[in-house]
Amino acid sequence: MLSTRALRAHLLASRLAGDVATSRETSLRSYRAFAARDPRVTLGLDPRWNWSVRDVVALMADRCGVSADPEHVSGADVIDPELTLCRLAAFADRLGSVAARGGSVLFGTGHPHRLLGFYADLADAVSAAGCSVLTPAQGRCVDITTRFGVRTLSLEYVAGVAVLHEPGAREVGVHSHSPLPVRVALQAAVDVGGPLPDLVVGDHGWVCGAGQLGVEAIGLADTDDPALFVGEAEGRVSVAVPLDDAVRSDFYRPLTRYVLDLTCLSQ
């Protein structure tokens, strides 16, 4: 079993927490955009409360450990590893609860190049425990609006995890913040009379989009992803785990092991 002390050391050594690669400038830009309700940053969440930039900074200081000083405007951002460990435990608790009752889970990621392995190992573990890992809307086209126009992508499942693909491409998937994939997946489940997920596990729009529709969601979020933490504060996201979401994919393996140990799903 991986100890909490060992995982904390790993978080700092890999820069999953502590001084992370995300800059303070990038985070503040996202906080300003969120306060302005820019859909590129709200990720499918329609905030119930009015969030000023100062409110968002204060929330992110509380939930992530970034500086609470709005005048601190440059340098590397910071994630408190104790907050990461705390929310990972809460993440494991929610996942373990669904697994214990043999519920259904939908996994999806907008960070396939970094986080696919993390979610795929969780999907494999809950499936082995008797959960249904859902794959609705396989192969469905999703039109994503970008600053360059509309981009048509395909919703595919890799090892039980939903990702967006360029049609015909061999790549593992494309980076996306959009809530449209989870909306398409949930609507497809409704259309065929299949089960809706008891839990959505992912990041970006997968978590916020599901939470906005009333489906329980848990996920990972960086310091420039305030929407997940706002969703958590407003009660529509169950757990948002603060960590850098763009380090090397193998750096997430100890997190998988830690979560599976906590849920007693280790194989």
Specify the residue for token string 């995890």.
161
Task: Give the whole-angstrom CA distance, residue 40 versus residue 73.
Answer: 22
Q: DSSP letters along 11-46, please?
A: HHHTTSSEEEEEEHHHHHHHHHHHHTT-HHHHTT--
- Output the pLDDT for position 97: 97
The average pLDDT across 198-210 equals: 98
Percent of the chain at pLDDT exceeding 70: 100
The average pLDDT across 191-203 equals: 95
Q: Sign of dihedral through CA atoms 51, 54, 57, 60?
A: negative
Higher pLDDT, 150 or 99: 99
The pLDDT tens digits of the residues spanning 18-72 come to 999 999 999 999 999 999 999 999 999 999 999 999 999 999 999 999 999 989 9
Task: Give the whole-angstrom CA distance, residue 89 versus residue 241.
Answer: 9
Q: What torsion, rounded to 10 degrees, do the Cα atoms 175, 112, 206, 149 define?
A: 20
Percent of the chain at pLDDT exceeding 90: 91
Number of domains in the chain: 1
Query: What domain range is 139 assigned to?
Result: 1-267
The pLDDT tens digits of the residues spanning 170-189 come to 777 899 999 999 999 999 99
The average pLDDT across 87-106 equals: 97
The pLDDT tens digits of the residues spanning 134-172 come to 999 999 999 987 777 788 999 999 999 999 998 777 777
- Output the pLDDT for position 267: 57
Q: In the predicted model, what is the mean pLDDT of the chain?
A: 95
The domain that holds 14 is classified in CATH as 3.40.50.10490
- Output the pLDDT for position 144: 87
Candidates 38, 12, 5, 43; CA nearest to 240 is: 43
Asked if 79 and 12 count as a contact pair (C-beta separation under 8 A), the reply is no
32-to-126, 130, 146, 225 alpha-carbon distances in Å? 38, 43, 20, 12
